[in-house]
Structures are given as structure tokens and as C-alpha cells.
Amino acid sequence: MKKIALFPGSFDPITTGHEETILKFLPLFDKIIIGIGKNTSKKNMFSLDKRKNWIIRTFSKYKNIKVKTYSGLTVDFCSKNNINFIIRGLRNIEDYIFEKEIALMNNEINKKVNTILINSSSKNSHISSSLVKDIIKNGGNSKPFLASGVQL
């Protein structure tokens, strides 16, 4: 059985932190699906198509990384696509607490879906899409924080 993992998020925009996390996990799985969740409670700065294209461009040389969009519960998307692992990066203790709660709920809904967490490097532990969006909105230089495939 292939080991398939899901890296879910809104990726609005995808950052160097996201890119680092995916590449850290890559050797552990046969395939990683980057799942762009359609979160109706979030107001996105960038269109779904733009975010998807940035991700495809960022990981174009990796044949075992795919990009899909979904709506609804992440754990349900995993069930429908035979995905047994959700992978997430941790920047700080707040991320750990948040991710642990979601992981426990997901595992209660589907015992076959487990979450694996990995620490961000100190180089990326301060980067968030929200902060990057703020830099962009205010005309600052966001390039050092954006994934390699992002072109504003």
C-alpha cells in the first residue's frame, strides 16, 4: 500500500515555510497531495486558480507531489482519496496546540487518518501567510517569504 499524505491549507499565498515543510516530508511518502481547502469563512487575497498555479510551479520538478482543491472537512477528503496521513509544520507552541486539537478530532472521525507534525527551521518559523499578505498590502518586499513559484 502506498503511503500518501495530505498537506492541507489555503496557501494564500504559499510561503517558504510551506515549501520547506513539504520538502522535509517528501522522503517519507510515496506521494504528497497539497490540498487547497475552500474555506468559506476566509476572505482570500488571491484567487484559487492563482494559488493552485503557484503551487504547481513551485513543485513542478517533483512527480510525486500533486495539487488538488477540496471543500468540506479535510478528514473527509482524506477518506474519499485513500489518504492516511495529514502532514503539518509547526512554527511555535501555539501551532502545536492548534494542530494537536485538530489531529485528535480528525482521528476520532476516522481512525485511519493520522497527523504527523514537523518543526519549521528557525529561518521560517516566523513566517505566516497572514504576515506576508500584510507586507504585500502595504507595498513591502514579500519576495524573501514567498515560495519559489510565486510571481506577484
* C-alpha cell recorded at residue 113: 487518518
Q: Strands 85-90 and 65-70, how do they pair?
A: unpaired
Q: What is the mean pLDDT of the segment spanning 40-57?
A: 93
Per domain, the residue ranges of the chain are 4-145
Model's pTM, two decimal places?
0.95
Share of the chain above pLDDT 90, in %: 95
The domain made up of 4-145 is a member of CATH 3.40.50.620: yes
First CA to last CA across the chain, in angstroms?
40
Render the burial of 66-101: b for 16+ CB within 10 Å, e for the rest. ebeebeeebbebbeeeebbbbbbbbbeeebeeebee
Q: What is the mean pLDDT of the chain?
A: 96
Dist CA 94 CA 117 (whole Å): 13
Can you point out the beta strands (E) in 25-122? 31-37, 65-70, 85-90, 114-119
